[in-house]
A = this chain, B = another copy of it.
């Protein structure tokens, strides 16, 4: 498929797909005229890359993890595995932090609603 189709299938802009290639996160074969072509596998790969971006990883960090995805457990993926473990832990800690924040918001909202109910009762 060409880049436009990959873009609509993944919900990622054409601009971003080219950027991923520039960052060596994604590869494409080129038609004789130079247009990029992708296989269906790339759909999943782009989705995964998006996941990692959403988890706060940078392009260069993602690049370091990819050997782990592309060629599981070959020699050169040791460092990738280690890096992945490190990012996993960071992400886990971040999630815990966000859960605390969620909790704080829930408490705040509950307090506000309670106060509002109090006002309503007092008025009648």
Which residues does A use to contact B, with CB under 8 Å?
A: 48, 51-52, 54-55, 68-69, 72-73, 77, 81, 84-85, 87-88, 91-92, 94-95, 97-102, 104-106, 108-109, 111-113, 115-116, 118-119
Contacts and interface: CB of A to CB of B under 8 A. Distances in A.
Chain copies in complex: 2
B88 A102 contact: yes
Contacts of A106: 88
B68 A100 contact: no
Contact of A91 (B73, B102, B116): B102
The 8 A-B pairs at the shortest CB distance, nearest first, are namely: A73-B115, A73-B116, A88-B105, A51-B101, A55-B101, A72-B115, A72-B112, A73-B112
B112 A68 contact: yes
A48 B108 CA distance: 12
